[in-house]
Amino acid sequence: MTDRPLRIGVGAGFADDRIAPAVDMAKCGTVDWLVFECLAERTVGRENLTRQKNPEKGYNPWLEQRMEAVLAHCLDHGTRIVTNMGAANPAGAARATRRMAADMGLGDVPCAVVQGDDVADLVRTQPHLKLLESGEPLESILPRMASANAYLGADAICRALAARTPVTITGRVGDPCLFLAPAMHHYGWSYDDWPKLAQGTTAGHLLECSAQLTGGCFADPGMKDVPGLAELGYPIAEIDADGGLVVTKLEDTGGRIDVATCSEQILYEMHDPSAYITPDCVLDITDLTLTDEAPHRVRVAGARARPRTDSYKVTVGYFDGYIGEGQVSYAGINAVARAELAAEVVKERLRLRGFHYPEMRVDLIGMSSLHGMKDDRPEPYEVRLRIAARTDDRKAAEAVGFEVRAMHVNGPAGGGGGSDPSVREILAVQSLLLDRKLVEPEVFVEGEL
Q: By CB under 8 A, is residue 449 in contact with other proteins? A: no
Task: Report, in Å, the least distance between residue 339 CB and other proteins.
Answer: 15
Q: By CB under 8 A, is residue 392 in contact with other proteins? A: no
| Three-state DSSP class for residue 282 | strand
Q: What is the DSSP string of 242-266?
A: T--EEEEE-TT-BS--SHHHHHHHH
Q: By CB under 8 A, is residue 380 in contact with other proteins? A: no
Of 147 and 168, CB closest to other proteins: 147
Task: Report, in Å, the least distance between residue 43 CB and other proteins.
Answer: 11
C-beta atoms surrounding 351 within 10 Å: 11
CA distance 357 to 397: 9
Among 2, 374, 378, 420, binds other proteins (CB under 8 A): 374
CA distance 27 to 33: 12
Query: First-to-last CA distance in the chain?
Result: 22
Task: For strands 167-170 and 245-249, give the pairing.
Answer: unpaired
Decide: 145 and 122 in contact? Cβ < 8 Å: no
Q: By CB under 8 A, is residue 390 in contact with other proteins? A: yes
Which 82-121 positions form the footprint of other proteins (CB under 8 A)?
A: none
Among 72, 426, 438, 445, binds other proteins (CB under 8 A): 426
Which 211-230 positions form the footprint of other proteins (CB under 8 A)?
A: 212, 217-218, 220, 222-225
Decide: 51 and 92 in contact? Cβ < 8 Å: yes
Instruction: Give Cα separations from 1 to 7, 96, 193, 292, 293 (angstroms).
Output: 13, 33, 20, 28, 25
Among 158, 386, 407, 434, binds other proteins (CB under 8 A): 386
Task: Report, in Å, the least distance between residue 236 CB and other proteins.
Answer: 21
Task: Report, in Å, the least distance between residue 253 CB and other proteins.
Answer: 19
Amino acid, res. 200: G
Q: What is the DSSP string of 85-115?
A: TTTT-HHHHHHHHHHHHHHTT-----EEEEE
Q: By CB under 8 A, is residue 316 in contact with other proteins? A: no
Q: By CB under 8 A, is residue 267 in contact with other proteins? A: yes
Among 100, 345, 360, 438, binds other proteins (CB under 8 A): 360
Task: Report, in Å, the least distance between residue 6 CB and other proteins.
Answer: 25
Site residues, other proteins (CB under 8 A):
41-42, 132-133, 212, 217-218, 220, 222-225, 260, 263-274, 285-290, 302, 320, 323, 359-361, 363, 365, 369-374, 386, 388-390, 426-431
